[in-house]
Structure 1
Amino acid sequence: MRTLNIGIIGVGVVGSAVVRILEQNKSLISARAGAEFCLKRGVVRDIAKAKERLGGVAIPLSSDIDDVLEDESIDVVIELMGGIEQAYQVAKKTLQKGKALITANKAMLAYHRFELEQIARGIPIGFEASVGGGIPIIRTLKDGLGSNHILALRAILNGTSNYILTQMFEHNKSFAQALSEAQNLGYAEADPTLDINGYDAGAKLLILASLAYGINALPEDILIEGIEGITSDDMEFAKEFGYVIKLLGIAKRHEDTLELRVHPTLISQDSMIGKVSGVMNGISVLGDCVGESMYYGAGAGGEATASSVISDLIEIARDTHSSMLGFSESIQTSLTLKAREEIASKYYIRLYTQDKPGVLGHIAQILGDNGISIKAFLQKEHEDRGTAKLLFSTHTSTESSIANALKAFESLPSVLTKPYTIRIED
């Protein structure tokens, strides 16, 4: 049985789990792979801390990345260091040295996946762990659904934000309370910015879109909004009309255009994706042949993510890897990104206004002027006397029309705070 030598750059939560699982399940993994894996070296910032994290499992450790990259005996480099540009340089040098690459780095791939594919020229690149933790969605899109035109994706791709929204919806927690609880439980970092502002999910959506559609887009090219502005009033409206609020990554194909967007979304409580709660991830894929299929599981965590890293190792050992982004020949996609202002959706709008006659008339006039019609309306008393809380949803409109209406609302003296909107998916 042949041996593949492994170097790991980054032996943190995921890297240490990779080391432990390779040791604990050594016989099973070797039997599936038809090869043995030898952990030649791990690269870490703090060697003492890494030894503590590894427990009784001993591998040679270094603080110098070149100890892995320049070692000609190492066959596969596992990049788990995080960051973007330095990680890209490491990935590029790995491939230039002729070594196979495995990465869980969604942020780096969001910017450099097509460049790495060009550099690789047949050298294996595994990145199953970059999206969905332990959910095998990368291989599903590349292989399992390879005969399908993917018509749409709807995905919960960030467990931190999903946990926060679940706590707000099911337990009436405020955003601040839910975030603090997520941090105390280790579900959110001390700086949770990338989780709650949508950019973590945005990076993952771009990776999935490359596999599904062959399109090269960057985070700056797509609509990304976070969950920071959601309040208990929005949850109240959702419950009243049978919705739940989720941070969704959405891709929709329309003939020669493609929508890519990440934002809080009102979606039916009875939908499959609407039932994904807590820190779990879920990905709904609509194919023209298979119809809708749903993929559910742990989207983060050391062992779940390590499971996907090791699945890439097994595929490399079997020498059954396909091209990085799933197309053996370069695909000249005719799809272009749909302009943000042309995206159409139904919308929920929250307004706080002065509680006096004539306000509703002004609001209705603005909506009418922009071709927007109301579908559902909820008016509730506000804790501040003299303030009205207006919560309503619209029929299908466009981003540009909604943006014009919101701007007009802000100009009304009777509107007391900045209007807030959430898109609706039926």
Structure 2
Amino acid sequence: MTELSGGPALPQERRVVTSVPGPKSQELMARKQAAVADGIGTVMPVFAKRAGGGVLEDVDGNSFIDFGSGIAVTGVGNSADAVVRRASAQLAQYTHTCVMVTPYEPYVEVCEELARLTPGDHAKKSALFNSGAEAVENAVKIARSYTGRQAVVVFDHGYHGRTNLTMALTSKNMPYKHGFGPFAPEVYRVPVAYPFRWLTGPENCAEEAAAQAIDQISKQVGAENVAAILIEPVLGEGGFIEPAKGFLPRLAQFAKENGIVFVADEIQSGFCRTGQWFACEDEGIVPDLITTAKGIAGGMPLAAVTGRAEIMDAPHSGGLGGTYGGNPVACAAALGSIETMREMDLPARAKRIEEVMKPRLRKLAEQYDVIGDVRGRGAMLAIELVKPGGKEPDPQVTAALAKSCHEQGLLVLTTGTYGNVMRFLPPMVIGEDLLEEGLDVLEGALAGL
């Protein structure tokens, strides 16, 4: 079976021909350790040579089934035809002018597409940046400018980036915040509706968590002081947590009633990943601002803030921008990525991935009591691993399971506040045969624990 989404032909097969890592990867790792800062960590110690469809090939000739997509980036594949075609054509014209010096059509086209694709039929505008963290920072700037307020409310288990402000917004200390303070002020954290870990049970989770969050905001911050409520509709690095149904609409309504800008951080969950173009559509939420990155441009660095025109226009001219923000080649790639999403109906493909994977994951949970929870939507799924007989997180068994999968040719990622969640983010163009085989590898790894 060849790659579903164009680019150089790459056999769609799992193939392990050396130890993992192999000798060439080990040589390159020695060079990395000598030349690259130790703070740049590595999930799987192999060096990529080619990737596409549902596989990644390393320099030793091993081919891994890809359940990571570069952390939800290459949903359209690593070399989708339209992305390569459009980006290559743009490269041949010019690589950069800086939109703040001489603007260019691809930037405008991406903003037009974002206005069409994001939830709501109100007038919208966008600003483009380089990374998810930049998008979040700028969303906060825009909200503060629009409201004249300073406070920002975020949630337990949330992740929003690695810059100073976004570290303050992020919940987890290690590895994201440890030793890097002091952090930006006027950030307030409240509970999130985490069904698996809600003390009184999942049936009470949405109502109780919303009540607690709103009570804390009202009493400890003052709703009149809050510029923005910022939340991931599906919490990514915190453990692929789906807030209990009803929680997000209640927070969005509270924001609306109090003149607070409601910001949906869709950097990991956006662009078809959950079976909808954006995860907040699941409960009909129309955010005031939405931040995007990762899946937007097929692997090229691009991010955006999109929202109500009157909010987006609040900052003064020159108050937003950046030298590389909305680079023309990245914009061309984004247009190719969006073209691919439409033509291949990737929301439907994500739903099909869930149909294939979730029943098998649930069956594994019945067989192996280390799996405490199976959750997620579309091609954004996870298992939470616990010590048998309860809900105590087990990061050690999670790490061992991931290592075993890697050694057998399956690229998986771990995540979660407690380091005990294995997440599955396959490219949405992956073949079903590879999905099934990847789950076979996971099952074998669980049996070998």
> TM-score band (shorter)?
under 0.3
Normalized against structure 1, the TM-score is what? 0.24
TM-score, normalised with respect to structure 2: 0.23
The structure with the greater share of residues assigned to strand is: 1
| Bigger RCO of structures 1 and 2 (CA < 8 A, at least 6 apart) | 2
